[in-house]
Amino acid sequence: MCGIIAYIGARPCRDILIEGLKRLEYRGYDSAGLAITQTIGDCTTHVCKTVGRVADLERKLEADEPTLNGTIGLAHTRWATHGAVTDPNTHPHTDDRGLICLVHNGIIENYVSLKKLLEEKGRKFRTETDTEVLATLVSELYDPDHAKTGGMDLEAAVQAALREVTGAYAIAVMSTRDPDTLVVARKGSPLIVGIGNGEFIVASDGSAIISHTARAMTLDDYSVVRLTRDGLRTSTIDNVELSPKVMQLEIELGEIELGGFEHYMRKEIFEQPRALRRTMSGRLNHNEGCIVLGGLLAHAKELVRSRRVIICGQGTALNAGMVGEYLFEDLARIPTEVEYASELRYRNPIIEEGTVVIAVSQSGETADTLAALHEVRDRGALGLGVINVVGSTISRDTDAGVYLRVGPEIGVASTKAFTGQVMVLTMMSLFLARRRLMSGTDVSAFMAELARVPDHIEAVLEQDDEIRAITEKHIGRENWLFLGRGYNYPTAMEGALKLKEISYIHAEGMPAAEMKHGPIALIDEGMPVVFIATKGAQYDKVMSNIEEVRSRGGHIIAVATEGDEDIRRVAEDVIYIPECPEPLSPMVAVVPLQLIAYHAAVLRGHDVDKPRNLAKSVTVE
Ligand code: AGP
């Protein structure tokens, strides 16, 4: 996905746009660009764009447009979908007549047919992008002399163009011929409008707005907003007036600053204890022996009587959902399955009476997860969300949900979001267990252990240097295996994903038993194999699997329970974690794996927070 920021008001917007892009760069960072309309003498719109990071754009701007400034502009940081990563394909895009300037996050699915129609009308194209087609379509419909002719103004032209497109979009549009109007719109991709004093800052998420204002307006799909220095008008693409939905952004600036850490990922790994305490805050009623999840109360009876739970998500959210599957069946005794949202949405699922779907998503904007939620809800399921970003699209499209409250996650590799998602799923399973078969005493005992998880994570974080040393021993190895059983099979999956996505080392996670059914062939002398070998029901089985790997030359790195001396007999490296009930162990056992991935990326010289080819949230399918 990409990052969009736009401004209209009384202040010069060059620095506002650049600073906003820096806040949004985690959303995509293949290339960046901005356009500003300045009204010195004639109105002129200047576009500056470049492959690379926002810092590269800043340098190019200094060199090419040192004096460019104006009080209306738009900017974009790109994660390429259509068209290679080149300067011409970088946003903003203009049409061949130079009337329209536009930035876009999403995919125009019917851009080829639209491009053909526009070429038949004599329009010329200079890029491979779907976005240029949209800009040209708006230009074709827009009448710059609308004041005299009664033709389509910018708002009407954007509405008309969007009625012709299929796909997902969040756009900001301006025209040299109308420097007092900014039009924005969304469908399927996030966009919010920050409401300042006599100014509007439009962005893909609140992190680029909060330093200017905490008042923001969320947009539903098919919304179009016309912004001028005097105010705003919200309508649908069919020009039906809408009343604005204003909210307060709950972001603290400190939460989105690095705060002395070298990388956001490191900051977010180390803030997990504090983040999880916030996740639990006010939700553990130890006296009554129950979990308090206000967002679920209205549906408690339906949940208690539910006959099946489907948990869906992608990536890390899916791995957290896999822990949820064990929790819901083990503690709440509800038949539960977990699925890739991208598969669930297309497989024509059977959804019988009493089905609950839980969409897990840090950003609340992942296109496949959103679509799967819609699909299963349309078939009658109750839709719940386990989401981090307040007011995000998925959170608004569920019947109810529970927010993670771990604070903004900027690092592309999810860390505190994973432990936050598992914490929320644990509380949800106890919320239901208490209403189905678990006594208050048993729930209280569980909650006491749950409250200690942040302390356990702190104990693991103190081993950071040792974990770095273990990682360094294997930094030249190109293939790793991560193996676990039971609750920690998903932990192994998450450890492998972390290593892959930021160090670019190939890694596979799987159930420890599965390794014998083929992957054991991969093991060669010195291959790093990480076992989650914490005390639990299948400990002895894991020890057997370790022996099988050792006998083939694998190098064993074990995550084990404090006090376990047996493990030292079979593992070259041991990372100890404090003892805790097996259902709670993924939140602790994952931390060494997060640190292994982090150190591997740093040791290999990669950009930890902006790994190649990735973006923070995949809002395209
Ligand atoms: C995790 O480290 C990745 N960044 C990615 O797999 C992510 O978890 C996935 O894209 C889902 O994102 P979401 O939680 O925002 O829906």
From atom 4 of ligand 1, which residue's Cα is the shortest distance away?
A: 413
Q: Which of these, 266, 256, 264, 202, lies nearest to 228 by C-alpha position?
A: 202
pLDDT of amino acid 80: 78
So which residues are the catalytic ones? Answer: 2, 616
pLDDT of amino acid 200: 98
Pocket test for ligand 1, best of 27, 339, 366, 416 (most atoms within 8 A of CB): 366
C-alpha span between 330 and 350 (Å, rounded): 23
Beta carbon of 617 within 6 Å of any ligand 1 atom: yes
What is the whole-number distance in angstroms between the Cα of residue 453 and the centre of ligand 1? 23
pLDDT (tens digit per residue) in 405-433: 999 999 999 999 999 999 999 999 999 99
What is the whole-number distance in angstroms between the Cα of residue 29 and the centre of ligand 1? 16
Whether pLDDT at 253 is above 80: no
pLDDT (tens digit per residue) in 213-234: 999 999 999 999 999 999 999 9
> In the numeric block, which tokens belong to residue 303?
């949940």
Written in H, E and C, the secondary structure of 432-456 is HHHHHCCCHHHHHHHHHHHCCHHHH
| Alpha carbon 543 to chain centroid, angstroms | 36
**Cα–Cα distance list, 483 to 315, 507, 510, 581 (Å):** 17, 11, 5, 19
Q: Give the mean model confidence (pLDDT) for residues 101-114.
A: 94
Beta carbon of 495 within 6 Å of any ligand 1 atom: no
Beta carbon of 395 within 6 Å of any ligand 1 atom: no
User: What proportion of the chain, given as a percentage, has pLDDT over 90?
Assistant: 87
Contacts of 490 (CB under 8 A, 6+ apart): 319, 320, 322, 323, 326, 484, 586
Beta carbon of 363 within 6 Å of any ligand 1 atom: yes
Q: What DSSP element (H or E) covers 336?
A: strand 336-340
pLDDT of amino acid 428: 98
From atom 7 of ligand 1, which residue's Cα is the shortest distance away?
A: 315
pLDDT-based confidence at 188, cuts 50/70/90?
Answer: confident
What is the whole-number distance in angstroms between the Cα of residue 241 and the centre of ligand 1? 35
pTM for the structure as a whole: 0.84
Beta carbon of 362 within 6 Å of any ligand 1 atom: yes
Domains and CATH numbers, the chain: 3-249 (3.60.20.10), 257-451 (3.40.50.10490), 457-610 (3.40.50.10490)
From atom 3 of ligand 1, which residue's Cα is the shortest distance away?
A: 413
pLDDT (tens digit per residue) in 349-407: 999 999 999 999 999 999 999 999 999 999 999 999 999 998 888 999 999 999 999 99
What's the length of the chain?
621
Average pLDDT value for the chain: 94
Please answer whether residues 139 and 124 qualify as being in contact, where contact means their C-beta atoms are separated by less than 8 angstroms. Answer: no
Q: What is the DSSP letter of 263?
A: -
pLDDT-based confidence at 189, cuts 50/70/90?
Answer: confident
What is the whole-number distance in angstroms between the Cα of residue 437 and the centre of ligand 1? 34
C-alpha span between 422 and 548 (Å, rounded): 31
Q: What is the DSSP letter of 484?
A: E
pLDDT-based confidence at 505, cuts 50/70/90?
Answer: very high
pLDDT of amino acid 82: 72
- Give the ligand 1 atom nearest the CA of 366: 16
Whether pLDDT at 621 is above 80: no
- In 506-562, DSSP assigns E strands to 506-511, 528-533, 555-561
173 beta partners: 102, 183
Q: Name the region of 165 (left: φ>0; alpha: ψ -120 to 50; beta: rest).
A: beta
- Give the ligand 1 atom nearest the CA of 394: 16
Whether pLDDT at 81 is above 80: no
C-alpha span between 346 and 338 (Å, rounded): 15
At which residue do the structure tokens 């809002």 appear? 619
What is the whole-number distance in angstroms between the Cα of residue 314 and the centre of ligand 1? 6
Q: Which of these, 282, 184, 275, 281, lies nearest to 234 by C-alpha position?
A: 184
pLDDT (tens digit per residue) in 464-483: 999 999 999 999 999 999 99
